[in-house]
A and B are shown apart, each in its own frame.
Chain A
C-alpha cells in the first residue's frame, strides 16, 4: 500500500467547513483512497472512500486531484463531535501483499 502524508494537527471553528489534506504521491492505479476517524480511543470508523471521482455521503465529501496524488476530506459543517484523529490511507489489490497500517493521522480539534 502507498504511504500517505497528513498534517499532524489542525483546528476548526464550529459550524465552518474543515478541509483535511492528504498526500499520496505513490498511489497506484488500482488503489482507493480511504478516510477513517477515531474519536478518543474508540475503534476507527469508516468515513468515505474514492478512486478517481469526487465522492459525497452524509458524513463528508472527498475531493481527489486529477493526478490522484493528493486528496482533501471536507467536513462541511464541523461540530464539536467531529473532534477526532482522521486517517487517510490507500488500499487496493497489489499482488499478494495485504498489509495495511495507518499513520499517525491528523488530530482535528473543533472549537466552539
Chain B
C-alpha cells in the first residue's frame, strides 16, 4: 500500500533533549516536506527536499534540521527542543515539486515541556 509513515505518533519530551521524528515513503517520490500545524495557522512548511542530498528551507525552519540521505527517508531533527515547538507535525511527499499531488503522513503530536 502506498503510504507515508511517520513515527512516533505521539511524543512528550523536555526542553533541550534532542529528538528525531522519522518519515518514510514507499512511492519513490522525489519531493518530501515537513509541516507544523498550530491552531488557526494552517500548515506551515518547515523544510522540503527535492531529491537526495537536496534540501531547502520552508517558511519556519528555525530550530529544525533535516537530512535526505536516502530517497525514501526524510527525518526531522530537533537538536534542542523548546516549548514553542510543541505542535502537530506532518510529513508529505509527491513525485515532484510542482504539479503533483501531495501524500501526507498521519502526523506526530509533539509536546515539549
Contacts and interface: CB of A to CB of B under 8 A. Distances in A.
A104 B43 CA distance: 7
B105 A101 contact: no
Contact of B59 (A43, A93, A99, A105): A99
B45 interface: yes
A44 B43 contact: yes
Contact of B42 (A41, A42, A103): A103
B100 to A, nearest CB: 8
A44 B90 contact: yes
A56 to B, nearest CB: 16
Interface string B42-58: 11110010100000101
Interface in B86-113: 88, 90, 92, 97-99, 101-107, 109
A44 B58 contact: no
A59 to B, nearest CB: 13
Identify whether the interface residues of B are mostly helix, strand, loop, or mixed: strand
B98 A104 contact: no
A34 B105 CA distance: 18
Interface string A30-42: 1010101000011
Given A99-B48, A100-B48, A46 B102 contact: yes
A49 B104 contact: no
B74 interface: no
Interface residues of A, number: 23
Contacts of A41: 37, 88, 107, 109
22 contacts: A30-B98, A42-B107, A43-B90, A43-B92, A43-B104, A43-B107, A45-B104, A46-B101, A46-B102, A87-B43, A91-B98, A91-B99, A92-B99, A98-B31, A98-B97, A99-B48, A101-B35, A101-B42, A101-B43, A101-B45, A101-B59, A104-B40
Given A44-B43, A93-B98, A100-B58, 15 more contacts: A41-B37, A41-B107, A43-B105, A44-B90, A44-B104, A49-B99, A49-B101, A87-B43, A92-B98, A93-B97, A99-B59, A100-B48, A101-B43, A102-B43, A104-B42
